[in-house]
Amino acid sequence: MKKYIKQLLRENLLNEVRVLNPYITKLYNEDGLKDSDTVRVYHGFNNYEYAVTAAKFGFSGKEKAKRIYSYEANNNPHGLFITLDLFTAKKFIYPRGDKGICVIFELNVKVSDLEAPVWPNGSYTVQGQLAKFWKDDEDRYKNGTLKAREGAKIEYSDSSFVKNSDRPELAATLVGNERQALFMGDINPNMIKSVWYGEGGKFGYSPQKYERISIKEFLNKFKNFEPEKNHGGGMSNSEKDFYDKKMMISNPNDEFSMEKIDKYLKDNNLSNYYDNGEEFIKSLDRDIYLYFWPKQINQMKQSGLL
């Protein structure tokens, strides 16, 4: 643990990564959170299968998230829930398999890629509570995000960290009672800092010990990983799409590249079926999300290809 703390301090100084403790940040005169900052965050997976796929292919907060509860899917449809501290991340994992496997990703992300989750009730809905829903994105921003911003300025008027942040509502949700935010950016596999891996977890309880390992070490534990067998063959179409990331032509955070499409067509013996990459793109129609991540799709729309 001492070695890990020393490493955090060294990274904080050399790489300008802010490692914030949400339990004390709101109490002291910490500098405000700027959109240009890079911060250390953690994401706990509700099953290790998703973690294996994310480690292999990366992931995007711009995709529609696979939420456990419907009220989250409707009110905060995009983004991965992240937190500033490992302890909080452990609360959002679910041990899976015979070994009771638990997985947490450690990431360095831009604050500009984070967003405060918002709910019509003012906070997350608990089991048995009647959930309300936003009408649309405009309603969510106007009556959710902006309202939370004004509320944060009042509630944390004595906190320099919150009131001096570019987005006070984001700073407040990171250090408040919920201690979480939404990651809306794109992560390539090589951008995943480390994996916290534990075995022996039981429902409602974390393993007694977590091992901090590299992505390579993590994937070596699942060399023979076959999602369909893990699911007993009962996978839905959306689950099959999620695990079939091997069809992706680029990584989540890569820029759109016609050269990569041409290479894909050549490597997969498709050059005889399509005269060029543009023709291939237009042929995909609704299946385009199986081959491209949100970032590349948005860039194609901006360039007029879609």
pLDDT tens readout for residues 71-113: 677 788 899 999 999 999 998 888 888 889 999 999 999 999 9
Tell whether the torsion through CA atoms of 261, 262, 265 and 271 is positive or negative: positive
CA distances from 46 to 4, 20, 263 (A): 25, 24, 36
152 closest CA partner among 168, 134, 130: 168
Which H/E stretch holds residue 104?
strand 102-110
Pairwise pLDDT comparison (71 vs 150), residue with the higher score: 150
pLDDT tens across 20-32, in order?
999 887 767 789 9
Q: Is the pLDDT of residue 7 over 60?
A: no
pTM here is 0.87
Per-residue confidence band for 13, with pLDDT thresholds at 50, 70 and 90: very low
Query: What is the per-residue pLDDT for 211?
Result: 95
| Residues recorded for the chain | 306
Q: Which residues, in sequence order, are bridge partners of residue 181?
A: 82
Burial of 232 (0-12, 13-18, 19+ CB in 10 A): exposed
Query: What is the per-residue pLDDT for 74?
Result: 77
| Cβ pair 193, 173 in contact under 8 A | no
* Angle, helix 168-175 to helix 146-155, in steps of 10 degrees: 60
Q: Is the pLDDT of residue 200 over 50?
A: yes
Domain ranges of the chain: 2-230, 248-303
Q: Is the pLDDT of residue 45 over 80?
A: yes
Report DSSP letters for 218-277, one per residue: HHHTTTT--HHHHTTT---HHHHHHH-GGG-SS-TTPPP-HHHHHHHHHHTT-TTT-SSH
CA distances from 16 to 8, 9, 36, 38, 189 (A): 11, 10, 11, 7, 21
pLDDT tens across 225-249, in order?
776 665 555 566 666 666 778 789 9
| Cβ pair 207, 199 in contact under 8 A | yes
